[in-house]
Amino acid sequence: MEEKKLMQAMRMRLEEQEKLIQALKEGQPDREASLLYNKRKVMEIFDAGSDFALRFFRMAMQNGYAIQVGREYFITKENFDRFLTDNTGQQVAI
C-alpha cells in the first residue's frame, strides 16, 4: 500500500515539474503555471531571510511541492498552499 502512495506522489511531482518546465521554456505560461513563487517571494511571505527561504525550498522539494531549475527554486501558489495545509498542526523544522 505504501508503495502505491509513493508511486502516485512521484507521478504527481513529475507531472508538476514537467508542466513548470514547459511553461518556463515557452515564456508564456498558462494562468495556473504563472503563479510561481521564487525565493524572493517566499522571503517576502514569511518575512525571513535568504537562508530560511532556501531551507524552505529544499524541504518543499524533498516532499514534492517545489522544483529547481538550474540554481533557482520555484513553487506554484497551489503547491505552496498545499504545503501549508498538509503541515498545519505540525512542527516543521526549517
Within a domain: residue 91?
A: no
Average pLDDT taken over every residue of the chain? 83
CATH number at residue 64: 1.10.10
Within a domain: residue 50?
A: yes
Within a domain: residue 92?
A: no
pLDDT per residue over 3-22, tens digit each?
777 777 778 777 877 877 77
In 30-89, DSSP assigns E strands to: 36-37, 66-69, 72-76
Alpha-carbon gap, residue 3 to 33, rounded angstroms: 29
Within a domain: residue 34?
A: yes
Q: How many domains does the chain have?
A: 1
Alpha-carbon gap, residue 43 to 34, rounded angstroms: 19
Q: Is the pTM of this model over 0.95?
A: no
Within a domain: residue 52?
A: yes
| Range of the structural domain that residue 24 is part of | 2-86
